Amino acid sequence: MSDERSGWHAPGSGPAPEPPRYGAYAPDGTPQAAPQLPPQGSWTPPPKPGLVPLRPLGFGTLLGAPFRLLRSSRAILGLAIGLQLVLLLLGGGIAAFALFAGIGRVTDFEDPDQQPLIAGGVAGIILSAVVVLLLNLIIAALLQGFVVVAAARAVLGEKMTLRQLWATVKGRLLPLIGWTALVFLATAIAFAIVIGIAVSGAAVSPEGLIVSIPIAIVLGLGLIVLSIWVSVKLSLLPSILVLERGRLWASLARSWRLTNGHFWRTLGVQLLISVIVSVAAQVIATPVSLIPLLGIVIDPNGTGTATIVLTIVSLVLSSVLSVVIAAVTSVVLSGAISLIYLDLRMRKEGLDLVLQRHVEEDTLDDPFAPGVV
């Protein structure tokens, strides 16, 4: 019902009331539009307190975020460069000492029976290689754990000091070393199988070599494909070991389950980032490798002084660049894998809702723990 003379309308029967109008002009005479309010129930974007928005991540976000992490986490980059430098100096020193000590032992003693000396020198070189390998595993595991924690906390807008990172990672260092050692052992076994087939064929007869080489090549290609598939399926394991504090074998199974249905996407992100970093490294390293050629221009008479100096400069710069490139590569790739892990948990387990609640209420001690809802 309505009363047109009085202007009264029954509720819901008349025209919709107009929104309140504000002054068409401000007090100073300039036009002023009415504020536009979002309609009730409209979609609002998820919060982005840190590195990425708290929602399942797109392919482009996964590609760009690791490089933003590299730029914002200078402490992690500095730590990575320092660890790579330690590995270069200490590992190179151990290897050089074992090599020259072994050669010197053989040449300094005039013994008609040189076999024990040669065997001792070879054993020393092998032992030094094992020590360098162990050092490499420890540094790789430590750096991977640091990057995992830094990336996860960067998503929440938190920056951790190296002391805080070490307090979080130190209890997971042994599982991380065990994982890297397992990867190396599997690679060594696969390589030994391929080489063993070729060598065994050559030991039988020349015809056996002709047969064994194609078999070794086909087997090697198959093992490469298998290793890529398995490495992608298990690539989330460091993040699970550190953030969920799981056991090694249980973490292997969990990484396998999380990547189900997302293999190609996971492979694509890792592959593209590897290509980007490799191309950038080549662009930077190529001019340095050409420095010795300047000796021909500087020293056309061929005395050799300029060439020697430039070669030394090139070697020093190449060593420095190799340290920096290795550090950048490790940080970016580890950061990408950490973000893939978070993305898959958001898609499959609703981790984005947990992280949003943590940001808004700050009631969770560990929002990345498994089973938190």
Q: What is the CA radius of gyration of the chain?
A: 31
**CA–CA separation, 122 vs 111, rounded Å?**
17
How far is residue 15's CA from residue 8's CA, in Å, rounded to a whole number? 11
CA distance 335 to 300: 49
Q: Say what the pLDDT of residue 75 is.
A: 82
The H or E element spanning position 9 is strand 8-9
Give me the amino acid identity at 156.
Answer: L
Query: Collapsing DSSP states into helix, strand and coil, what is residue 225?
Result: helix
Tokens read off for 271: 């592959």
Decide: helix, strand or coil at residue 195: helix
Q: Which amino acid is at 360?
A: E
| 369 Cβ contact partners less than 8 Å away, ≥ 6 residues apart | 243, 244, 245
Q: Which two tokens stand for residue 71?
A: 């730029």
Reference 188, options 216, 222, 227, 221; nearest CA is 227
How far, in whole angstroms, is CA 275 from its chain's centroid? 13
Rounded to the nearest 5°, which phi and psi values hold at 31?
-60, 145
Residue 355 has a pLDDT of 87
What is the predicted pLDDT for the residue at 302? 56
**pLDDT by position in tens, the chain (length 373):** 444 444 454 444 555 454 444 444 455 555 555 445 445 555 555 666 778 888 898 888 898 999 988 888 888 888 888 888 888 888 777 777 767 766 666 565 555 555 665 666 666 677 777 777 778 778 888 888 899 999 998 888 888 888 888 888 888 888 888 888 888 888 888 888 888 887 777 666 667 667 778 888 888 888 889 989 999 999 999 999 999 988 889 999 999 999 999 999 999 999 999 899 889 888 888 887 777 777 666 666 656 676 777 777 778 888 888 888 888 888 999 899 999 999 999 999 888 888 888 888 766 677 887 765 5
**Residue 158: partners with Cβ closer than 8 Å, 6 or more residues away:** 50
Taking the C-alpha atoms of residue 221 and residue 188, their distance in angstroms, rounded to an integer, is 15
**H helices of the chain, where?**
59-72, 74-86, 92-108, 115-155, 162-169, 173-204, 206-233, 237-243, 248-258, 263-289, 294-298, 305-349, 351-361
| pLDDT reported for residue 240 | 92
**Which letter does DSSP use for residue 63 in this model?**
H
Rounded-to-integer distance, Cα 113 and Cα 305, Å? 43
Which contacts of 316-324 are long-range, i.e. CB under 8 A and separated by 24 or more positions? 317/288, 317/291, 318/285, 318/288, 318/289, 319/88, 321/281, 321/284, 321/285, 321/288, 322/88, 323/81, 323/84, 323/85, 323/88, 324/81, 324/84
pTM, 2 dp: 0.76
DSSP sequence for 285-336: HHHHHTGGGHHHHH-TT--SHHHHHHHHHHHHHHHHHHHHHHHHHHHHHHHH
**Which pLDDT does position 23 carry in this prediction?**
46
The per-residue pLDDT for 74 is 80
